[in-house]
Amino acid sequence: MDLNLFGGVFVTLLVIMDPPGMMPIFLALTGPLSARERNRAAWQAVALALGVIVVFAVAGQTLLAYLHVDLPALQAAGGLLLILVALELLTGKTDDPTKQTTSNIALVPLGTPLLAGPGAIVATMLFVQQAESAGDHFAIAIAIVAVMLTVWIVLRFSGGIVRVLRPGGIEVVTRIAGLLLAAIAVQLIADAIFAFVADFTGAA
């Protein structure tokens, strides 16, 4: 196994997924839930993100080409989805646990597009394209699993922070997370627009 490749994939994906930055968003979305439901949401989100990344690593180019979808379009769609979630956090609509279910939170937006977002998908596809041997593919696979395990550990033990913050603190974190999420969404959409413009000018 190529340890340099393993390290490159691990560090790249870990920086893109940003587990410490994910924590306030995770706490905001799962704050009203019980500890058991929060833990379940953590592993479901990580499992879904792992599945999405593996699918795109194996057949990403083929799938996008078949659907006639460019990566900037995928990026813009993720940004629009995050804007909707950010608005809910900023307006407090997610404070009522009856309005959300654990599975929905785990799937969208935690699993995708926050964890398995355009950045992680593109990076993984590029690493797979550059792989030259079975050892390279093995190093990439192990690195992806290691990153997901790290993310799960961070989310799994974020429950202690919930006990410290209490409801008032969670509400503050929710508003901050909504603002951060809105900024991430705007950046995703802006990057997608720049990519579309670059492709258009390049084709012209």
C-alpha–C-alpha distance, residues 159 and 76, integer Å: 32
Specify the range with the lowest mean pLDDT, choosing from 26-35, 91-100, 188-197.
Answer: 91-100
> Is there a contact between 125 and 57 (Cβ–Cβ < 8 Å)?
yes
Considering only residues 139 and 93, tell me which one the structure prediction assigns the higher pLDDT: 139
The encoded tokens of residue 190 equal 């802006």
Specify the range with the lowest mean pLDDT, choosing from 1-15, 42-56, 85-99, 165-179.
Answer: 85-99
Average pLDDT over residues 9-16: 90
Considering only residues 153 and 166, tell me which one the structure prediction assigns the higher pLDDT: 153
Of 34-38, 99-103, 119-123, 135-139, give the range with the top mean pLDDT: 135-139
The model's pLDDT over 123-153, given as tens digits with 9 standing for 90+, comes to 898 899 889 899 999 999 999 999 999 999 9
- Residue 99 is which amino acid? K
End-to-end CA distance of the chain: 44
Specify the range with the lowest mean pLDDT, choosing from 33-47, 95-109, 137-151.
Answer: 95-109
Packing angle, helices 71-91 and 159-203, rounded to 10: 140
- pLDDT computed for residue 73 by the predictor: 86
Is 117 a residue whose pLDDT tops 80?
A: yes
Is 98 a residue whose pLDDT tops 60?
A: no
Nearest to 25 by CA among 170, 195, 197: 170
> Is there a contact between 89 and 175 (Cβ–Cβ < 8 Å)?
yes
The model's pLDDT over 48-78, given as tens digits with 9 standing for 90+, comes to 999 999 999 999 888 888 988 887 888 888 8
C-alpha–C-alpha distance, residues 19 and 147, integer Å: 10
> Is there a contact between 126 and 13 (Cβ–Cβ < 8 Å)?
no
- pLDDT computed for residue 74 by the predictor: 81
